[in-house]
Structures are given as C-alpha cells and as structure tokens.
C-alpha cells in the first residue's frame, strides 16, 4: 500500500456586489423633500490596499464586508432647509450656527451640528424625524461606517469613485476640498450647494453626491482603531467609546482625506463648520 498524491484547491465564493436601486422621495412638508437611494445587499471590499497613495494604517487591512439587508441612504448631505424643517432651530447659537461666512442657504449642507445633536434619544434630530413619520417612513438613522463606505464607493475599488487620481488632478471636478472651496472673500473656505461640484455629473455610480468633500459626514459607529482581517457581516462598530466616526473629508481638508477609505474621528459633542451628515433608512418598512 502506498500513499496517494495529495490534491488541493482554493475556492472563492463571490456574493452579489452591492448596487443601487430605486430612489424614493420623502415629503417633509412645506415643499421640502428628501431623496434617498436604495443600496442592495451584497459584498464589497472595505478599506484600502497597502499600495494606495496616502493610505493610513487604520484603513486596513482590506477585508470583505457583507451587508445582508438593503438600505436607503441620502442622495445628498442633509441640507439646512431639511434640518430646520424637522428640528425647528439650530442647536448652537451665534458663531455656532450656519452663517454666510461658511455657507448659508436652503440647499447648502447643514453643519455646526454634533453626533449628540443628531442621535440624542430625547431631543435629537433622529428622534424628531422618526416622530414626524414623513410619507409614512420611520427608522431614520445614521449609516454605519460600512454602509457609508460601500455607498460612497459606488461599486468601485479605486482610491476615489472617479478613479485612482494618484496625482489629485481630477478631484477638483468632483469634490469641494481645501484647494477649490475658498475665495478672495472667504479665504478659509465654505460649504457649497449640494451636488454642485464642477463636473457635469459629479455623482458616483449609485447616484450619490458629495461623498467626497463639502462636509465631513457622521456615522453611527464609535471609533474602532483597526479592522479585522477576516470577512465580516453587518459590522456596526463598538457600542461604547469616547470618539465617533467621520467619513468623506470636507471643504477644509486636503485631497487625501476625501478618499472613501479615509477614517476620521471626533468627540460626540463636537460642532464644527465642516461637519454634517446624510441619513440612512432600513429598506424594510
């Protein structure tokens, strides 16, 4: 009797990639609406490869994430008109409220709002909009960090949704960031109207605008310093911690901070002139 040859094989199981679906329009009242795009369940690669320009260590390791449930996410960053319609006022006063200095207008992103202002279970924006139950929808929330990244990537795996742009020569056409967001009158920069970047079509392949630059966007997760190197399903991050996740970069940030893999963080109480959010909504109602 002799030993047989050893045979081995490597199998890769590819689940369905995430994709964009229907768009819903939610009536907030007074002629103000909220557009949200459905992202279908599937698997994507989260983080950045070690070869990506200006990659930070906390963007890795690159790993597979499966989202098992469809969800909706805002087509645009939440606007000032939408915030005021739901919340009724700005949580800050004086210099801690939107102004002409940093961008003021119905269609400009809301800013000078904190994670606590959004998520407080008694007085937060999410509590107010869910009590409002606009167009029969409830369950509005912030996106998880994983949901945000998969939506922002628009089905791509490049450094930006328009390509690797390793020389940062194309970002001016797609994002408001530190190089193109200022003016002689406003040298410190300012937010711009939602979806107004210079490209003829600055949306990503899923139809989302301003996922790079304009205002940094809050996620529901608490800060997690490093990723797992194994496949993970529906990650939500830690339930406790002193910092919360920010994604997408802003008009005061350099190009490298506007990559979809870049991970920022701040305190839950921080209100800043370049900090806003977009809403998420579970698809099952």
What residues contact 1, with CB distance under 8 A and at least 6 apart? none
Q: What is the pLDDT of residue 12?
A: 43
Q: Are 224 and 244 in contact (CB under 8 A)?
A: no
Q: Are 196 and 170 in contact (CB under 8 A)?
A: no
Sign, CA torsion 36/41/47/51? negative
**Per-residue pLDDT in tens (0 to 9) along the chain, 285 residues:** 777 777 666 544 445 667 777 999 999 999 999 999 999 999 999 999 999 999 999 999 999 999 999 999 999 999 999 999 999 999 987 788 999 999 999 999 999 999 999 999 999 999 999 999 999 999 999 999 999 999 999 999 999 999 999 999 999 999 999 999 998 889 889 999 999 998 888 999 999 999 999 999 999 999 988 888 889 999 998 888 899 999 999 999 999 999 999 999 999 999 999 999 999 999 875
Q: Where are the domains of the chain?
A: 20-282
Q: 3-state secondary structure string, 172-226?
A: HHCCECCCCCCCCCCCCCCCCCCCCCCCCCCCCCCCCCCCCECCEEEEEEECCCC
- Percentage of the chain beyond pLDDT 70 is 95
The topology (CATH level 3) of 20-282 is 3.90.1580
Cα-trace Rg, the chain = 20
Rounded to two decimals, the pTM is 0.92
């Amino acid at each position: 009797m002799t030993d047989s040859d050893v045979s081995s094989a490597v199998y890769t199981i590819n689940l369905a990639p995430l994709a964009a679906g229907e768009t819903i329009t939610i009536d907030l009242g007074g002629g103000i609406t909220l557009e949200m795009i459905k992202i279908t369940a599937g698997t994507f690669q989260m983080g950045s490869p070690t070869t990506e320009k200006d990659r930070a260590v906390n963007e890795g390791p690159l790993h597979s994430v499966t989202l098992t449930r469809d969800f909706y996410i805002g087509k645009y960053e939440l606007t000032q008109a939408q915030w005021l319609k739901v919340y009724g006022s700005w949580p800050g006063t004086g210099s801690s409220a939107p102004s002409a200095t940093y961008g003021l207008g119905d269609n400009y992103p809301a800013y000078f709002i904190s994670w606590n202002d959004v998520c407080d279970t008694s007085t937060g924006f999410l509590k107010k909009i869910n009590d409002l139950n606009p167009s029969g929808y409830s369950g509005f929330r912030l996106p998880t960090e994983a949901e945000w990244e998969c939506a922002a990537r628009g089905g791509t795996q490049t450094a930006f949704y328009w390509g690797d742009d390793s020389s940062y020569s194309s970002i001016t056409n797609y994002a408001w960031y530190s190089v193109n967001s200022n003016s002689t009158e406003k040298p410190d920069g300012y937010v711009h109207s939602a979806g107004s970047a210079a490209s003829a079509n600055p949306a990503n392949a899923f139809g989302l605008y301003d996922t790079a630059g304009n205002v940094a966007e809050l996620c529901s997760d608490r800060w997690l310093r490093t990723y797992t190197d194994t496949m993970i399903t529906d990650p939500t991050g830690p339930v406790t911690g002193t910092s919360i996740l920010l994604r997408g970069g802003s008009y005061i940030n350099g190009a490298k901070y506007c990559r979809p893999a870049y991970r920022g963080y701040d305190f839950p109480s921080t209100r800043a002139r370049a900090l806003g959010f977009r809403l998420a909504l579970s698809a099952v109602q």
